[in-house]
Amino acid sequence: DQQVKQNSPSLSVQEGRISILNCDYTNSMFDYFLWYKKYPAEGPTFLISISSIKDKNEDGRFTVFLNKSAKHLSLHIVPSQPGDSAVYFCAATMVSGFQKLVFGTGTRLLVSP
Amino acid sequence: DADVTQTPRNRITKTGKRIMLECSQTKGHDRMYWYRQDPGLGLRLIYYSFDVKDINKGEISDGYSVSRQAQAKFSLSLESAIPNQTALYFCATSEAGGPVETQYFGPGTRLLVL
């Protein structure tokens, strides 16, 4: 039972344009969401997060949007750069108790010059 | 130097062999985790440890065991490796406190079981 889903395994975008990565979840108990970025031969690194009490969080070129009613979040990268080419994992957790992260399957982003 | 290191980075072994994957961290974090990544399945939690004396099973612990030798070291063992344990294994750490703990991942160990 995949509680966190990233339905697009890959996405190609031109440099300078917007990249939109999507993530859906099924467990309404999740109240905190994170995005991790992974380059080849490296471990995932934390990128940005959002609490369920917010609907938007912005950090430089990266913005995460949360739609709780739809159980959907998205990561926007504007403008996209070739160095953003990586696999992006969405993860969800519950703040109370042990904060087990439930990861999505990842979306491979390719930003071409 | 990397804060979270994993050894070996790549390993090929045969079915039935016992192997150990090691993780060390210099971040001073109390909490450590072992995950595996399989194509199309994302990262799944195998074991986690909140301190040296506190070890817990994750969602896919069968066939694995762990040892927390010190605050900085957390090892994952496959007692008798089988081909479906072929995967990319990640160690991670986090520091207790705050509403949500950011996890810091090692570079991964790619394991192939023949």
What pLDDT tens digit does each residue of chain A (113 aa) get? 679 999 999 999 999 999 999 999 999 999 999 999 999 989 999 999 999 999 999 999 999 999 999 999 999 999 999 999 999 999 999 887 776 889 999 999 999 99
Take residue B103 and report the two structure tokens written for it: 């996890």
Minimum CA–CA partner of B41 in chain A: A105
Residue B4, pLDDT > 80, answer yes
Give the residue from A5, A101, A108 with the most B CB atoms within 10 Å of its CB, the best one to mutate: A101
Q: Determine the pLDDT at residue A69.
A: 95
**Looking at beta carbons, which residues of chain A come within 8 Å of B102?**
34, 46, 49
Q: What share of chain A is helix, strand, coil (3-state, %, to 5)?
A: 5, 55, 45
Could you tell me how far CA B50 lies from the centroid of its own chain?
14
CA atoms of A52 and A78, how far apart (whole Å): 23
Angstroms from B89 CA to nearest CA on chain A: 10
- How far are the Cα atoms of A50, A51, B18, B47 from residue B91, in angstroms, in the given order? 24, 25, 19, 10
